[in-house]
Amino acid sequence: MPYQANRTLGVHSKMFNMAEEWGLRPDGSNPTRHVKKYPEKKRERFLSPEELRELWQVFDTRLEERLESPSMIAAFKMLILTGSKLGEMQTLKWSYIQGNTIKPPLAPFPSQLQPQTYLKSGGKVKSTYTNYI
């Protein structure tokens, strides 16, 4: 229930803030501003087979009724089926696809963080970043 309570609090907070912005309530009168949220534990949830079937039906209906572009639906399906993040899909190249597997190249490990270099330096790593990054 803490999750639902926190979401409800968020909706009410937004509603009262908008009422203040629109001049329907005096500034600073949001009664939710001092209400503390419940602590939440990080959780992982997967769609059930039934939810997945329903979602696919919605996708198919939206395609048939021409409410969404085929490429948009295909992108959503690919994200769901692969568990990839949007940024990973946006940078995907055909060369990464090998049969039924997506194999992006691994980024090289920075030399200053290689275990032998790190230990020789006494655990100190010189930063190559500037204040402008």
pLDDT tens, position by position, 26-59: 999 999 999 999 998 887 888 888 999 999 999 9
4-13, 22-31, 102-111: which range is least confident on average?
102-111
pTM over the 0.85 mark: no
Q: How confident is the model at residue 122 (pLDDT cuts 50, 70, 90)?
A: low
Question: What are the distances in angstroms from CA 80 to CA 12, 52, 119, 125?
Answer: 31, 9, 41, 39
**What distance in Å separates the CA atoms of residue 48 and residue 117, rounded to the nearest whole number?**
47
**What distance in Å separates the CA atoms of residue 48 and residue 45, rounded to the nearest whole number?**
9
